Structure 1
Amino acid sequence: MSLPPQFSGHRISGKADAKHTLELYLDYVCPFSAKIWKQVYENVLPFLEKEYSGQVQVIFRNQIQPWHPSSTLVVEAALAVEQIDPAQFAPYSNALFVNQKSYFDEAVVDKTRTEQYKSLSALAANTTHSSLREDKVLSLLQINPVSTASEATNHGNKITNDLKYHIKLGRQTGIHVSPTVLWDGIVENSISSGWTLDQWKEFFASKL
Protein backbone atom coordinates (compact mmCIF):
# COMPACT_ATOMS: atom_id res chain seq x y z
CA MET A 1 0.00 0.00 0.00
CA SER A 2 3.04 2.25 0.12
CA LEU A 3 3.65 4.77 -2.61
CA PRO A 4 7.10 6.32 -3.16
CA PRO A 5 6.95 10.13 -3.37
CA GLN A 6 8.10 10.18 -6.99
CA PHE A 7 4.92 8.31 -7.89
CA SER A 8 2.55 10.59 -6.01
CA GLY A 9 0.44 11.00 -9.13
CA HIS A 10 -0.64 7.37 -8.77
CA ARG A 11 -2.69 8.37 -5.72
CA ILE A 12 -5.71 9.48 -7.71
CA SER A 13 -7.91 10.23 -4.70
CA GLY A 14 -7.55 10.71 -0.96
CA LYS A 15 -4.47 11.09 1.21
CA ALA A 16 -1.78 8.75 2.45
CA ASP A 17 -3.13 8.79 6.02
CA ALA A 18 -6.57 7.51 5.00
CA LYS A 19 -7.84 4.56 7.05
CA HIS A 20 -8.48 2.42 3.98
CA THR A 21 -6.80 1.87 0.60
CA LEU A 22 -8.32 0.83 -2.70
CA GLU A 23 -5.72 -0.24 -5.28
CA LEU A 24 -6.50 -0.69 -8.96
CA TYR A 25 -4.07 -2.77 -11.02
CA LEU A 26 -4.92 -1.77 -14.59
CA ASP A 27 -3.48 -2.10 -18.09
CA TYR A 28 -4.04 0.83 -20.44
CA VAL A 29 -4.70 -1.44 -23.42
CA CYS A 30 -7.04 -3.83 -21.59
CA PRO A 31 -10.76 -3.24 -22.43
CA PHE A 32 -11.88 -4.45 -19.00
CA SER A 33 -9.42 -2.08 -17.32
CA ALA A 34 -10.87 0.76 -19.35
CA LYS A 35 -14.36 -0.23 -18.25
CA ILE A 36 -13.60 -0.21 -14.53
CA TRP A 37 -11.50 2.95 -14.87
CA LYS A 38 -14.36 4.85 -16.48
CA GLN A 39 -16.74 3.97 -13.66
CA VAL A 40 -14.21 4.74 -10.94
CA TYR A 41 -12.84 7.93 -12.47
CA GLU A 42 -16.17 9.46 -13.44
CA ASN A 43 -18.44 8.24 -10.63
CA VAL A 44 -16.76 6.40 -7.76
CA LEU A 45 -14.13 9.03 -6.96
CA PRO A 46 -16.68 11.89 -6.71
CA PHE A 47 -18.91 9.64 -4.57
CA LEU A 48 -16.07 8.81 -2.16
CA GLU A 49 -15.10 12.46 -1.86
CA LYS A 50 -18.69 13.41 -1.06
CA GLU A 51 -19.77 10.56 1.22
CA TYR A 52 -16.53 9.24 2.74
CA SER A 53 -14.14 12.17 2.54
CA GLY A 54 -10.76 11.37 4.09
CA GLN A 55 -11.55 7.71 4.69
CA VAL A 56 -10.25 6.09 1.50
CA GLN A 57 -7.19 6.63 -0.67
CA VAL A 58 -7.34 5.26 -4.20
CA ILE A 59 -4.10 4.20 -5.84
CA PHE A 60 -3.63 3.38 -9.51
CA ARG A 61 -1.15 0.57 -10.14
CA ASN A 62 0.32 0.01 -13.60
CA GLN A 63 -0.07 -3.62 -14.60
CA ILE A 64 1.73 -4.39 -17.86
CA GLN A 65 0.36 -7.38 -19.74
CA PRO A 66 3.26 -8.34 -22.04
CA TRP A 67 1.08 -10.20 -24.52
CA HIS A 68 0.15 -6.68 -25.65
CA PRO A 69 3.62 -5.29 -26.55
CA SER A 70 2.40 -1.69 -26.73
CA SER A 71 1.40 -1.85 -23.06
CA THR A 72 5.01 -1.23 -22.02
CA LEU A 73 5.32 1.86 -24.22
CA VAL A 74 2.02 3.30 -23.06
CA VAL A 75 2.96 2.89 -19.40
CA GLU A 76 6.31 4.54 -20.12
CA ALA A 77 4.46 7.55 -21.51
CA ALA A 78 2.26 7.80 -18.41
CA LEU A 79 5.33 7.65 -16.18
CA ALA A 80 7.01 10.35 -18.27
CA VAL A 81 3.99 12.59 -17.77
CA GLU A 82 4.16 11.92 -14.04
CA GLN A 83 7.83 12.87 -13.93
CA ILE A 84 7.01 16.22 -15.49
CA ASP A 85 3.83 16.94 -13.55
CA PRO A 86 2.37 14.36 -11.12
CA ALA A 87 -0.98 16.17 -11.12
CA GLN A 88 -1.41 15.28 -14.78
CA PHE A 89 -0.94 11.53 -14.33
CA ALA A 90 -4.64 10.80 -13.73
CA PRO A 91 -5.95 13.05 -16.55
CA TYR A 92 -3.43 11.54 -18.95
CA SER A 93 -4.33 8.04 -17.79
CA ASN A 94 -7.92 8.87 -18.59
CA ALA A 95 -6.91 10.04 -22.06
CA LEU A 96 -5.02 6.79 -22.60
CA PHE A 97 -8.06 4.73 -21.70
CA VAL A 98 -10.35 6.82 -23.88
CA ASN A 99 -7.95 6.40 -26.80
CA GLN A 100 -6.80 2.88 -25.98
CA LYS A 101 -7.80 1.38 -29.34
CA SER A 102 -5.11 3.50 -30.96
CA TYR A 103 -2.62 1.27 -29.13
CA PHE A 104 -4.26 -2.11 -29.65
CA ASP A 105 -2.14 -4.75 -31.37
CA GLU A 106 -3.72 -4.36 -34.78
CA ALA A 107 -3.38 -0.57 -34.70
CA VAL A 108 0.34 -0.50 -33.93
CA VAL A 109 1.69 -3.69 -35.50
CA ASP A 110 3.33 -1.76 -38.36
CA LYS A 111 4.46 1.22 -36.26
CA THR A 112 7.98 1.62 -34.93
CA ARG A 113 8.72 2.18 -31.28
CA THR A 114 9.66 5.78 -32.01
CA GLU A 115 6.43 6.38 -33.92
CA GLN A 116 4.44 5.15 -30.94
CA TYR A 117 6.41 7.37 -28.56
CA LYS A 118 5.65 10.36 -30.78
CA SER A 119 1.95 9.50 -30.82
CA LEU A 120 1.85 9.13 -27.03
CA SER A 121 3.73 12.41 -26.53
CA ALA A 122 1.33 14.23 -28.83
CA LEU A 123 -1.61 12.82 -26.87
CA ALA A 124 -0.10 14.17 -23.66
CA ALA A 125 0.30 17.64 -25.13
CA ASN A 126 -3.22 17.66 -26.57
CA THR A 127 -5.20 16.32 -23.64
CA THR A 128 -3.56 17.58 -20.46
CA HIS A 129 -1.99 20.70 -19.00
CA SER A 130 -0.04 22.97 -21.33
CA SER A 131 3.16 22.36 -19.34
CA LEU A 132 3.29 18.94 -20.97
CA ARG A 133 4.93 19.94 -24.20
CA GLU A 134 5.20 17.15 -26.73
CA ASP A 135 8.96 17.51 -27.07
CA LYS A 136 9.44 17.42 -23.30
CA VAL A 137 7.54 14.15 -22.93
CA LEU A 138 9.29 12.65 -25.96
CA SER A 139 12.73 13.55 -24.58
CA LEU A 140 12.10 11.19 -21.65
CA LEU A 141 10.98 8.36 -23.90
CA GLN A 142 13.20 8.42 -26.94
CA ILE A 143 16.22 6.17 -27.42
CA ASN A 144 18.97 7.24 -29.78
CA PRO A 145 19.74 4.60 -32.42
CA VAL A 146 23.26 3.37 -33.11
CA SER A 147 24.96 2.39 -36.34
CA THR A 148 26.20 -1.04 -35.26
CA ALA A 149 25.15 -3.60 -32.66
CA SER A 150 28.52 -3.29 -30.94
CA GLU A 151 27.63 0.31 -29.99
CA ALA A 152 24.38 -0.68 -28.26
CA THR A 153 24.22 -0.40 -24.45
CA ASN A 154 20.68 -1.62 -23.74
CA HIS A 155 20.25 1.06 -21.06
CA GLY A 156 16.70 1.93 -22.05
CA ASN A 157 15.40 5.48 -21.73
CA LYS A 158 14.94 7.99 -18.91
CA ILE A 159 11.82 6.15 -17.73
CA THR A 160 13.27 2.63 -17.53
CA ASN A 161 14.09 2.71 -13.80
CA ASP A 162 10.59 3.96 -12.95
CA LEU A 163 9.12 1.23 -15.13
CA LYS A 164 11.11 -1.44 -13.29
CA TYR A 165 9.58 -0.41 -9.97
CA HIS A 166 6.03 -0.96 -11.16
CA ILE A 167 6.83 -4.28 -12.81
CA LYS A 168 8.62 -5.54 -9.70
CA LEU A 169 5.74 -4.43 -7.48
CA GLY A 170 3.14 -6.31 -9.50
CA ARG A 171 5.29 -9.46 -9.55
CA GLN A 172 6.02 -9.27 -5.83
CA THR A 173 2.34 -8.79 -5.04
CA GLY A 174 1.42 -11.73 -7.27
CA ILE A 175 -0.80 -9.80 -9.65
CA HIS A 176 -1.32 -11.76 -12.87
CA VAL A 177 -4.09 -10.08 -14.83
CA SER A 178 -5.89 -6.79 -15.14
CA PRO A 179 -8.04 -5.49 -13.73
CA THR A 180 -7.20 -6.68 -10.23
CA VAL A 181 -8.48 -4.71 -7.25
CA LEU A 182 -7.10 -4.75 -3.71
CA TRP A 183 -8.86 -3.51 -0.59
CA ASP A 184 -6.49 -2.78 2.30
CA GLY A 185 -3.79 -4.86 0.66
CA ILE A 186 -5.87 -7.98 -0.06
CA VAL A 187 -7.18 -8.97 -3.50
CA GLU A 188 -10.93 -8.33 -3.58
CA ASN A 189 -12.24 -10.83 -6.11
CA SER A 190 -15.85 -9.72 -5.65
CA ILE A 191 -15.20 -6.47 -7.50
CA SER A 192 -16.04 -6.62 -11.20
CA SER A 193 -15.19 -4.32 -14.07
CA GLY A 194 -18.91 -4.29 -14.85
CA TRP A 195 -20.00 -2.94 -11.47
CA THR A 196 -22.48 -0.09 -11.45
CA LEU A 197 -22.11 2.85 -9.08
CA ASP A 198 -24.82 1.32 -6.88
CA GLN A 199 -22.76 -1.85 -6.52
CA TRP A 200 -19.74 0.20 -5.56
CA LYS A 201 -21.89 2.04 -3.01
CA GLU A 202 -22.97 -1.27 -1.49
CA PHE A 203 -19.35 -2.38 -1.27
CA PHE A 204 -18.23 0.75 0.55
CA ALA A 205 -21.23 0.59 2.87
CA SER A 206 -20.10 -2.88 3.93
CA LYS A 207 -16.50 -1.80 4.48
CA LEU A 208 -16.73 1.66 6.00
Structure 2
Amino acid sequence: MGTAAAGEETIVTPGEILGDSSEMIAGKGAYLAPNGRNIHASLTGRLLVLPPPSDSAEKRSTVEVVGHKAHGAVPEPGVVVIARVTKVMARMASADIMCVKSKAVKEKFTGIIRQQDVRATEIDKVDMYQSFRPGDIVRAIVLSLGDARAYYLSTAKNELGVVSAQSIAGATMVPISWTEMQCPLTGQIENRKVAKA
Protein backbone atom coordinates (compact mmCIF):
# COMPACT_ATOMS: atom_id res chain seq x y z
CA MET A 1 0.00 0.00 0.00
CA GLY A 2 1.02 3.60 -0.46
CA THR A 3 3.36 3.04 -3.42
CA ALA A 4 2.10 4.08 -6.84
CA ALA A 5 2.54 1.71 -9.75
CA ALA A 6 5.25 2.73 -12.23
CA GLY A 7 2.62 3.48 -14.85
CA GLU A 8 0.95 6.03 -12.58
CA GLU A 9 3.78 8.58 -12.61
CA THR A 10 2.61 12.03 -13.56
CA ILE A 11 5.10 13.90 -15.75
CA VAL A 12 4.71 17.69 -15.75
CA THR A 13 6.40 20.41 -17.81
CA PRO A 14 7.46 24.00 -16.95
CA GLY A 15 4.52 26.33 -16.44
CA GLU A 16 1.99 23.57 -15.86
CA ILE A 17 -0.45 24.33 -13.02
CA LEU A 18 -0.01 21.80 -10.21
CA GLY A 19 -2.58 23.05 -7.74
CA ASP A 20 -3.91 25.85 -5.60
CA SER A 21 -1.95 27.50 -2.76
CA SER A 22 -4.96 27.06 -0.46
CA GLU A 23 -4.39 23.29 -0.65
CA MET A 24 -0.69 22.97 -1.41
CA ILE A 25 2.74 24.48 -0.72
CA ALA A 26 5.27 24.90 -3.56
CA GLY A 27 8.30 22.69 -2.92
CA LYS A 28 11.38 21.98 -5.03
CA GLY A 29 10.78 22.31 -8.77
CA ALA A 30 7.59 24.33 -8.21
CA TYR A 31 6.78 27.99 -7.65
CA LEU A 32 3.88 30.19 -6.64
CA ALA A 33 2.53 32.40 -9.43
CA PRO A 34 2.47 36.20 -8.96
CA ASN A 35 -1.29 35.99 -8.36
CA GLY A 36 -0.47 34.13 -5.11
CA ARG A 37 -2.81 31.27 -5.92
CA ASN A 38 -1.62 28.93 -8.65
CA ILE A 39 1.38 26.68 -8.10
CA HIS A 40 3.29 25.90 -11.29
CA ALA A 41 6.03 23.45 -12.24
CA SER A 42 9.41 25.11 -12.90
CA LEU A 43 10.95 22.09 -14.61
CA THR A 44 10.11 18.91 -16.49
CA GLY A 45 9.86 15.89 -14.24
CA ARG A 46 7.77 13.64 -11.99
CA LEU A 47 5.09 15.13 -9.78
CA LEU A 48 5.40 14.32 -6.06
CA VAL A 49 2.86 15.29 -3.40
CA LEU A 50 4.26 15.08 0.13
CA PRO A 51 1.74 15.02 2.99
CA PRO A 52 2.35 17.48 5.87
CA PRO A 53 4.24 16.10 8.91
CA SER A 54 1.78 14.66 11.40
CA ASP A 55 3.11 16.87 14.21
CA SER A 56 2.81 20.04 12.11
CA ALA A 57 0.06 22.64 12.31
CA GLU A 58 0.35 22.92 8.51
CA LYS A 59 -2.45 20.97 6.89
CA ARG A 60 -1.41 21.53 3.26
CA SER A 61 0.61 19.00 1.29
CA THR A 62 3.87 20.05 -0.35
CA VAL A 63 4.05 19.58 -4.11
CA GLU A 64 7.46 18.92 -5.71
CA VAL A 65 8.71 18.18 -9.20
CA VAL A 66 11.66 15.80 -9.43
CA GLY A 67 13.60 16.49 -12.61
CA HIS A 68 15.13 13.89 -14.88
CA LYS A 69 18.91 14.09 -14.72
CA ALA A 70 19.07 13.44 -18.46
CA HIS A 71 17.28 16.70 -19.21
CA GLY A 72 20.36 18.78 -18.48
CA ALA A 73 20.27 22.22 -16.97
CA VAL A 74 16.98 24.08 -16.56
CA PRO A 75 16.60 27.89 -16.26
CA GLU A 76 15.32 29.02 -12.86
CA PRO A 77 14.57 32.50 -11.50
CA GLY A 78 17.71 34.29 -10.32
CA VAL A 79 20.09 32.18 -12.40
CA VAL A 80 22.43 33.63 -15.05
CA VAL A 81 22.01 32.22 -18.56
CA ILE A 82 23.71 32.63 -21.93
CA ALA A 83 21.28 33.05 -24.82
CA ARG A 84 21.37 33.75 -28.55
CA VAL A 85 19.06 36.52 -29.75
CA THR A 86 16.73 35.22 -32.48
CA LYS A 87 14.35 38.12 -33.07
CA VAL A 88 14.21 41.79 -32.12
CA MET A 89 10.90 43.67 -31.98
CA ALA A 90 9.94 47.17 -30.86
CA ARG A 91 9.16 46.19 -27.26
CA MET A 92 11.09 42.97 -26.73
CA ALA A 93 13.69 40.58 -28.05
CA SER A 94 13.43 36.80 -28.06
CA ALA A 95 16.37 34.48 -27.56
CA ASP A 96 17.21 30.78 -27.35
CA ILE A 97 18.76 29.89 -23.99
CA MET A 98 21.96 27.90 -24.61
CA CYS A 99 23.58 27.64 -21.17
CA VAL A 100 22.35 27.82 -17.59
CA LYS A 101 25.22 28.95 -15.35
CA SER A 102 27.95 27.12 -17.27
CA LYS A 103 25.98 24.01 -18.24
CA ALA A 104 24.58 23.53 -21.74
CA VAL A 105 20.86 22.90 -21.99
CA LYS A 106 19.53 19.82 -23.75
CA GLU A 107 16.01 21.07 -24.34
CA LYS A 108 14.91 24.19 -26.17
CA PHE A 109 14.15 27.06 -23.80
CA THR A 110 13.01 30.40 -25.12
CA GLY A 111 13.74 33.64 -23.33
CA ILE A 112 12.18 37.08 -23.75
CA ILE A 113 13.93 40.34 -22.86
CA ARG A 114 11.27 43.01 -22.47
CA GLN A 115 11.97 46.70 -23.07
CA GLN A 116 11.73 47.46 -19.33
CA ASP A 117 14.28 44.72 -18.51
CA VAL A 118 17.10 45.81 -20.84
CA ARG A 119 18.86 48.22 -18.48
CA ALA A 120 18.45 49.78 -15.05
CA THR A 121 18.38 53.48 -16.06
CA GLU A 122 16.33 55.55 -18.52
CA ILE A 123 14.08 52.55 -19.08
CA ASP A 124 11.57 54.61 -21.08
CA LYS A 125 14.27 55.56 -23.61
CA VAL A 126 15.37 52.00 -24.42
CA ASP A 127 15.48 51.29 -28.15
CA MET A 128 15.41 47.52 -28.66
CA TYR A 129 16.98 47.83 -32.13
CA GLN A 130 19.94 49.70 -30.60
CA SER A 131 20.30 47.15 -27.79
CA PHE A 132 20.33 43.78 -29.56
CA ARG A 133 20.52 42.23 -33.02
CA PRO A 134 19.63 38.68 -34.07
CA GLY A 135 22.63 36.40 -33.56
CA ASP A 136 23.98 38.33 -30.56
CA ILE A 137 25.11 36.24 -27.61
CA VAL A 138 23.82 37.76 -24.37
CA ARG A 139 24.37 37.14 -20.67
CA ALA A 140 21.10 37.58 -18.80
CA ILE A 141 19.44 36.69 -15.53
CA VAL A 142 16.18 34.74 -15.36
CA LEU A 143 13.40 36.84 -13.83
CA SER A 144 10.57 34.33 -14.01
CA LEU A 145 8.82 31.81 -16.16
CA GLY A 146 6.75 34.07 -18.41
CA ASP A 147 3.89 33.03 -20.61
CA ALA A 148 3.80 30.44 -23.39
CA ARG A 149 6.79 28.60 -21.93
CA ALA A 150 9.15 31.54 -22.45
CA TYR A 151 11.35 32.74 -19.61
CA TYR A 152 11.53 36.46 -18.88
CA LEU A 153 15.16 37.54 -18.93
CA SER A 154 16.82 40.74 -17.72
CA THR A 155 20.06 42.43 -18.81
CA ALA A 156 19.60 45.36 -16.39
CA LYS A 157 22.97 45.05 -14.62
CA ASN A 158 26.41 46.18 -15.77
CA GLU A 159 27.72 42.64 -16.16
CA LEU A 160 24.67 41.56 -18.19
CA GLY A 161 24.00 42.24 -21.87
CA VAL A 162 25.68 41.44 -25.17
CA VAL A 163 28.91 39.47 -24.66
CA SER A 164 29.55 38.58 -28.30
CA ALA A 165 28.22 40.05 -31.52
CA GLN A 166 29.00 39.80 -35.22
CA SER A 167 29.27 42.93 -37.30
CA ILE A 168 27.56 43.34 -40.67
CA ALA A 169 30.96 42.45 -42.20
CA GLY A 170 30.93 39.14 -40.31
CA ALA A 171 33.67 39.89 -37.78
CA THR A 172 33.43 39.52 -34.00
CA MET A 173 32.99 43.03 -32.69
CA VAL A 174 34.95 44.67 -29.89
CA PRO A 175 33.10 46.58 -27.13
CA ILE A 176 34.23 50.22 -26.92
CA SER A 177 31.64 51.54 -24.42
CA TRP A 178 28.50 50.47 -22.51
CA THR A 179 26.43 51.11 -25.62
CA GLU A 180 28.73 50.57 -28.59
CA MET A 181 30.69 47.81 -30.29
CA GLN A 182 33.09 48.28 -33.18
CA CYS A 183 33.89 46.07 -36.17
CA PRO A 184 37.67 45.47 -36.29
CA LEU A 185 37.54 45.08 -40.08
CA THR A 186 35.60 48.14 -41.16
CA GLY A 187 35.81 50.31 -38.04
CA GLN A 188 32.03 50.68 -38.20
CA ILE A 189 30.35 51.23 -34.83
CA GLU A 190 27.06 49.55 -33.93
CA ASN A 191 24.85 50.15 -30.90
CA ARG A 192 24.34 47.39 -28.31
CA LYS A 193 23.52 46.96 -24.62
CA VAL A 194 27.05 45.79 -23.84
CA ALA A 195 27.90 43.52 -20.90
CA LYS A 196 30.84 44.57 -18.74
CA ALA A 197 33.58 41.99 -19.31
TM-score by length of 2: 0.25
Indicate the structure with greater strand content: 2
